[in-house]
Structure 1
Amino acid sequence: MRHHIHVALLAVGFSLGYVPDASAQGPPINTDTAFVNGLQGAAVRSFVFSVHRSGLARDGQDIFDPSDRDVSIFAVPIIIPYEVIKNKLDIVGGIPVLYKRMAFTENGERRQLTNSGFGDLFILAKYLFLQKDRPGQTTRMAAIGRIKFPTGEDDETDAQGNPLPRSLQLGTGSVDYSVGVIFTHVVRRLGFNTDLVYTFNTEADGFAFGDTLKYDVAVGYRLAPREYITYPARQWNAYLELNGQFARKNTLNGMALPDSGGNVTFLSPGIQFIPYSTFLVEASLRIPVIQNLNGTQLKFQPAFTVGFRWLIF
């Protein structure tokens, strides 16, 4: 399976324009939301998103890895939205800054390969097509579409001139397309969000990453304040999310590669602090709970997301 970086499609979930009891909960950390305004819809967002893979498995069974490979990826996406139609349509641009490292043992010596720089640029549109507000609650649905452009380097080499593994390249070399739907329901202190996003990955130089289906579910609870005496007020939110992705097998010259693709699901507890109505900080630990990977692949290990969102427009 591809060492996939979920460059977040801009989760939008804190409305400043609705009644406090219904909207006074921050957006989930790893899951998108149907809101297109407020702290998310017009907020600059950045965060550190990590991926860690080590330990070899073949068809679900642990096996010995003679190279003892360990892969770490850190992505810092820079995400800037623009509200085209107020409370209806956002256009979002983003690009990740990446650092990738693979450590391994060769001829009895521990070595490593690294790569860093800008990844692939993407543009995303989110359109709110359903909104039902009642006292103390709101229900919303939105559609999203995304195009990713091959702006990141995809032909980097090591010191000896050998091409780096595809998992260490900064870009895919392909133009890829994503479409999805998001559902949000917030009742006073409790919020529920879910998204489903399919990505069509195209071919570049005879190689194509497998198409992916990203699925997320998040339950959020406002820990404090229990009730608003003044609004806005400092706020703490707790989240529990299921974040997963199913990937089809990669292909090379039209032939499926057996050691690629599969499904991985993470259980992701998180905490969020909103000190001001225009700023929040958040952190989440992603723990793999399901790994059904095809063939022989490195397993996913626990990883984290830490970041901020800042409403400046």
Structure 2
Amino acid sequence: MYRLTIPNVLVLVAGLSTLGHAAPQTFNTALPVAKGEFVVRQQFFYRRAEDDPTPANRELRVVGSISVLGRGGSRNLALFGVLPYLDKTIDLSSSAGRVSRSTRGIGDARVFGRYTLYQNDAKGRTFRIAPFVGIEMPTGDDHDRDSIGRLPAPLQLGSGSWDPFGGIILTYQTLGYQFDVQASYKINTEANGFEFGDEARLDASLQYRLWPRALEETGVPGYLYGVLETNLIDRRKNKLNGANDPDSGGTSWIFAPGVQYVTRRWILEGIVQLPLTQNLGGDALEDDYTIRVGFRFNF
């Protein structure tokens, strides 16, 4: 299985007092977006998967970007939209020799809302709990073809299905560090006789301020944070015409170190996702790594 999975990529910045703070890069945060304020995020990524147990010697490369727009609807409610652009290429060996198949374009968009259900603020810290719910819409092409024929469903830009998702986020933030945990579930529905397996995720992130160490320092333009994240992802098996695909599904555990440079209005960030374990079904293609870089700003 080599479908691109888009995480809940909108992570926003909210300050304690007037300070800027970091936030997760591979999932969401429970920190609020001010009413009437907009947040824009642009993330670019490169994903490589070449660990193929079959004689086909498959090599998958995905280059893309993820554009996010968020708006604070009220004191507790924030609304988000996510639109990916994808360039997918897979090389594999066949009876006719080495074959390359590719596609590029807009992927499936997401819209979701997040509501702050609980908050506990004190001097120099805050703790928040925020559930979220949304839907992934079939905006990407799911009937793309090349000279060989129709592309397999995992290589298509879109799924063709309407897929709801939801979850809950916990965020604990202080002046020196922030810790976030997210649990989420996505229900994938059937389209064109194919159904991706449902996906459950458990994510965690620690952001620690590296510079300046003392907040008493004046005149610094921003703050440098070190980031450590982990993603535990379990996917059910895909179904083709109602039958399970044995070469799909499974559990992956990912470790991701990164950095962020944070100012009051914008952030520069980068992170590398490295699989620690991949217990996948059958001959499913295993990931090697994913690199993500990007920026975000609010206005």
Q: Could you say whether these structures have the same fold, taking a TM-score greater than 0.5 normalized by the shorter chain as the test?
A: yes
Task: For 1:175 and 1:289, locate their aligned partners in 2 and report how far apart those are by CA, in whole Å.
Answer: 31
Task: For 1:205 and 1:81, locate their aligned partners in 2 and report how far apart those are by CA, in whole Å.
Answer: 32
Alignment pair present for 1:184 and 2:171: yes
CA distance 1:155–1:108, shift in 2 (3 Å): closer
Paired AA for residue 4 in structure 2 = H
1:3 alignment partner in structure 2: 3
Q: Which 4+ residue blocks in structure 1 deviate beyond 4 angstroms? A: none
1:285 alignment partner in structure 2: 272
- 1:49-88, aligned counterparts within 5 Å? 49-56=45-52, 63=53, 65-86=54-75, 88=76
2:32 alignment partner in structure 1: 36
Q: Secondary structure at the match of 2:22?
A: coil
Paired AA for residue 248 in structure 2 = S
8 Å CA contact 1:232, 1:277 repeated in 2? no
Per-residue Cα deviation, 1:187-246 (whole angstroms, up to 9, x for no partner): 221211010110011111221101000221111101112222448841100011101210
Task: For 2:139 and 2:116, locate their aligned partners in 1 and report how far apart those are by CA, in whole Å.
Answer: 29
1:159 alignment partner in structure 2: 147
Q: 1:151 deviation in Å?
A: 1.1
Q: 1:2 deviation in Å?
A: 4.6
1:213 alignment partner in structure 2: 200
- 1:119-268, aligned counterparts within 5 Å? 119-160=107-148, 162-228=149-215, 229-230=217-218, 233-268=221-256
Per-residue Cα deviation, 1:278-306 (whole angstroms, up to 9, x for no partner): 11111101110011101111111112111
Alignment pair present for 1:15 and 2:14: yes
8 Å CA contact 1:196, 1:215 repeated in 2? yes
Of 24-33 and 240-249, the range deviating more from structure 2: 24-33
Per-residue Cα deviation, 1:47-88 (whole angstroms, up to 9, x for no partner): 1133321122xxxxxx4x3221101112311111111103x1
8 Å CA contact 1:24, 1:189 repeated in 2? no
Q: Which runs of 5+ in 1 are unaligned?
A: 57-62
Paired AA for residue 6 in structure 2 = H
Task: For 1:173 and 1:217, locate their aligned partners in 2 and report how far apart those are by CA, in whole Å.
Answer: 30
Task: For 2:38 and 2:220, locate their aligned partners in 1 and report how far apart those are by CA, in whole Å.
Answer: 18
8 Å CA contact 1:210, 1:261 repeated in 2? yes
8 Å CA contact 1:222, 1:235 repeated in 2? yes
Paired AA for residue 22 in structure 2 = G
2:42 alignment partner in structure 1: 46
Identity %, equivalent residues: 31
TM-score w.r.t. the length of structure 1 is 0.89
Task: For 1:271 and 1:125, locate their aligned partners in 2 and report how far apart those are by CA, in whole Å.
Answer: 27
Choose between structure 1 and 2: higher strand proportion. Answer: 1
Please give the root-mean-square deviation of Cα atoms over the aligned residues, in Å.
Answer: 1.8
Q: Which runs of 5+ in 2 are unaligned?
A: none
May I ask how many residue pairs the two structures share in their alignment?
Answer: 296
8 Å CA contact 1:31, 1:193 repeated in 2? no
Q: Secondary structure at the match of 1:35?
A: coil
CA distance 1:4–1:210, shift in 2 (3 Å): same
